[in-house]
Chain A
Amino acid sequence: MVQDNDRQDASGPMIRFQKVKKSFGDVHVLRELDLDVATAERISIIGASGSGKTTLLRILMTLEEPNSGVIYVDGEPLWHKKVNGELVEADEKHLRKMRGKIGMVFQQFNLFPHMKVLRNVTEAPIHVLGTPRDKAEARAKELLDMVGLADKMDNYPSQLSGGQQQRVAIARALAMQPKVMLFDEITAALDPELVGEVLGVMRQLAHETQMTMLIVTHEMGFARDVSHRIVFLHEGQVLEEGPPEKIFTNPDHPRTREFLSRVLEH
């Protein structure tokens, strides 16, 4: 399905996993996983607990290093550098360059508790991208407005509800203008009545931007609405993938069927 180690051109996928393996001790989490995600494509990754969804995203965010395989982001190897046509392990400089293309929103929000909301959003643009403060703040206000929190910019994260914190976290990630956004069960830590406001922001984002998105979620209705494609992960491999209509109504694989009947029950 993929040519080995070939340089990806502009028409290639935004993300390419090529035989990626990851294990923690004896636990094989990703087993020669292959996956392509096109530019501007939104995929939802579903699968049972422990199937490797979080690990997949964390490897893309460079929070976890794969044991083998190659990952391309925007045509460039993520964990490797090309030296004389050979792939060698990436150094910190290369990783930082690649990280600039990717943003992530976490299940636990991970806002910076010692900074007000506005500064949570402006800090990285100012210190990482070198954006002038006034420009960064203007942009941050736009983003906070978009997530419905313009009136909270002078609050500390601890003064916000979980849903509000998660919306700030989305704004914070967007402020870095990544090409790819990763969302790891971003509503899983929320009280049920707060899930809707966060998914609302996500739906809006899906409609208004052309960002490539990898979404890990247990909210099947939401996944169906916003995704171009559903990827079903099973024991560290892509077992089945396809458009939402197909996967949710008529999946090929019995395991997919079994998984969906289990999660759609409640």
Chain B
Amino acid sequence: MVTFDWEFAWEILPQLLEAMVVTIEATVVGFAFAAVLGLLLALGRRSETWWISRPAGAIVEFVRSTPLLVQLFFLFYVLPRYGVRLPAFVVGVIGLGLHYGSYTSEVYRAGIDAIARGQWEAATALNFSQRHKWTKIILPQAIPPMLPALGNYLVAMFKETPLLAAITVVEMFQRAKIISSLTFRPLEPYTLVGVLFFVLSFPSALLIQRLEARFGTR
């Protein structure tokens, strides 16, 4: 039986923390992308112009029906053959953003649909422009109740960042893999990775629960 070597764990912790920065960066940038893309896709699907609404709907359905890992491989290994060559981290962030953007678009859609018709009509009666209707009246009411659902996707995305290891991004999990293959000690690196994930995602989950209590579950 292997016993947990605290000294070894202490020794590799800085490398893992350094890699955790990459994990967090991928999560933050990826989710910012997903949040914006999700909104655009949700608005796109509502468009009265078919050549906007149809493609937006198709993207959402397609992305949601295929695995993230396959999407990442496609972006990383297939696109370069057509001349689109991007760093692994960028590809990873785009993949995460695209994937989660198609999920958050459904959150936006439900949140926007929940706004009463009377709000739109009052905005029209006051002669607000289309842009101001969205930015001043509809979205400020629709977004706060969406925060718990968006937060859940943020945590889910955070926990899926190890998939980026598959396209050579050296995030926390990839770093642990490297350490374990060089030292032949899988116990400490993988345990630490688990603990680090837990330390970040558990408080986030609690925070989301509090948001839910505040805005009511939907």
A112–B137 contact, CB under 8 A?
yes
Cβ-neighbour of A63 out of B119, B125, B128, B136 (below 8 A)? B125
Number of interface residues of A (CB under 8 A): 24
B125–A112 contact, CB under 8 A?
no
Within 8 A of B (CB), among A86-123: 92, 96, 99-100, 102-104, 106, 108, 110-114, 123
Which of B124, B127, B128, B129 has the largest count of A CB atoms less than 10 A from its CB? B127
Known A-B contacts A123-B136, A127-B136, A128-B132; A110 and B122 likewise in contact (beta carbons under 8 Å) = yes
Nearest Cβ distance between residue A65 and chain B, in whole angstroms? 12
B119–A124 contact, CB under 8 A?
no
Nearest Cβ distance between residue B140 and chain A, in whole angstroms? 5
Q: In whole angstroms, how far apart are the Cα atoms of A100 and B140 in the complex?
A: 24
Known A-B contacts A123-B136, A127-B136, A128-B129; A62 and B122 likewise in contact (beta carbons under 8 Å) = no
The chain A residue sitting closest to B132, CB to CB, is: A127
B125–A114 contact, CB under 8 A?
no
The chain B residue sitting closest to A175, CB to CB, is: B126
- Please, which residues of chain B bring their CB within 8 A of the CB of A176? 126-127
Known A-B contacts A113-B141, A123-B136; A106 and B126 likewise in contact (beta carbons under 8 Å) = no
Q: Is A247 at the interface (CB under 8 A from chain B)?
A: no
A-B contact pairs, 21 of them (CB 8 A): A61-B125, A63-B124, A96-B127, A96-B129, A100-B127, A103-B126, A106-B121, A106-B122, A110-B119, A110-B121, A110-B122, A112-B119, A112-B122, A112-B141, A114-B140, A123-B126, A123-B136, A124-B127, A124-B128, A127-B132, A176-B127
Interface string of A120-147 (1 = CB under 8 A from B): 0001100110000000000000000000
6 more contacts with CB within 8 A, not counting A103-B126, A104-B125, are: A99-B124, A103-B125, A110-B119, A112-B141, A123-B136, A176-B127
B124–A110 contact, CB under 8 A?
no
Which residues of A come within 8 Å of B, CB atoms? 61-63, 92, 96, 99-100, 102-104, 106, 108, 110-114, 123-124, 127-128, 172-173, 176
Q: Is B118 at the interface (CB under 8 A from chain A)?
A: yes
The chain B residue sitting closest to A92, CB to CB, is: B130
- Please, which residues of chain A bring their CB within 8 A of the CB of B127? 96, 99-100, 124, 128, 176
Known A-B contacts A127-B132, A127-B136; A62 and B124 likewise in contact (beta carbons under 8 Å) = yes
Which residues of B come within 8 Å of A, CB atoms? 116, 118-119, 121-122, 124-130, 132, 136-137, 140-141
Known A-B contacts A63-B121, A106-B121, A112-B119; A172 and B141 likewise in contact (beta carbons under 8 Å) = no
B129–A61 contact, CB under 8 A?
no
- Please, which residues of chain A bring their CB within 8 A of the CB of B140? 114
Q: In whole angstroms, how far apart are the Cα atoms of A61 and B121 in the complex?
A: 9
- Please, which residues of chain A bring their CB within 8 A of the CB of B136? 123, 127
Q: In whole angstroms, how far apart are the Cα atoms of A62 and B127 in the complex?
A: 10
Nearest Cβ distance between residue B144 and chain A, in whole angstroms? 8
- Please, which residues of chain B bring their CB within 8 A of the CB of A99? 124-125, 127
Q: In whole angstroms, how far apart are the Cα atoms of A123 and B127 in the complex?
A: 11
